[in-house]
A and B are shown apart, each in its own frame.
Chain A
């Protein structure tokens, strides 16, 4: 029977739960950092990534609705993350589309759900299901801590090569620079919610499991990008894919 962990130990256990399954170590991330990708690979990445991160405010809205009305601080944190994603300044997905267009694809292709692969579709579905159906603290652990808090570590590695190896401008790659800081803040709000509201051993263990699942989901999504668009080059070419060659 697990005991209730103190704040410091619980935070350390959450970090441990992500160990060995972080998306920064998945094949697509490694190829990205090593300068081994081409612009068409980034275009396919953007066409998938949009459908994972685009509905993030929707996911958070489900969690917000499931949180009890006396969890005021937690609800405020969720709302703050949504506000910064969507309306505080430039909409974050618009920056993603700006990058996608620099890679040679279009807003229409990015927004068309038919252009994501099945693993991305699975990740999106898992996000919706977890947000809507899991306990609200567990769902926060999964989506905000397990998925979102990983982002700064990923983009700290991936942003410099975009400028130095792949030749994007700072303006084209603003999405990545933004998320190095924004998801540190968003992830930290997620930690606050989980650390302050997972108040029983059972709830803490469920949060740890959710973080593990989330890290696995993000790893699989990132690895699948490599498998679909780098290893199997036909998927990287939308014209070949469109005529049913794959």
Chain B
């Protein structure tokens, strides 16, 4: 079980709405939407583009490479039924913390999908 790791100050994220942070060897894309913070692996599962350079649209981050649209909360991309790893996030006293325990859905969210820990 990994520890909560400080990733950034929430004010830094509020300004830009997105931010790349590196925790150890893992690059993580953080997003700020409607007062919530979301964390996805930065390197796209499709062809390796950087999600932190993508745009936000309707609760999803649009990968700059091929415009795969990943749900910020689940990492699920509906068109291709694939999942970008997401990380647990908490915000305490203006600080964003992340646990390096990426989760990947194996089926569509809300349809009894199971999640497994990504390597």
Question: What residues make up the interface of A, taking CB atoms closer than 8 Å to B?
Answer: 80, 83-84, 88-90, 152, 177-178, 180-182, 184-186, 188-189
Contacts and interface: CB of A to CB of B under 8 A. Distances in A.
Given A89-B49, A181-B67, A181-B69, A84 B79 contact: no
A184 to B, nearest CB: 6
A90 B62 CA distance: 15
B57 A84 contact: no
Interface of B: 49, 53-55, 57-58, 62, 64-69, 79-80
A80 B79 contact: no
The prevalent SS among residues of A at the interface is helix
Contacts of B62: 80, 84, 185
A180 B57 contact: no
A189 B57 contact: yes
A234 B66 CA distance: 36
B35 to A, nearest CB: 19
A152 B68 CA distance: 13
B16 to A, nearest CB: 15
A184 B66 contact: no
A84 B68 contact: no
Contact of A89 (B57, B64, B79): B64
Contacts of A188: 57-58
Contacts of B65: 88-90
A181 B49 contact: no
A182 B55 contact: no
Given A89-B49, A184-B79, A177 B57 contact: no
Contacts of A152: 79
Given A88-B54, A88-B65, A185-B67, 13 more contacts: A80-B55, A83-B55, A84-B55, A84-B64, A88-B64, A89-B49, A89-B65, A152-B79, A181-B68, A181-B69, A182-B67, A184-B67, A184-B79
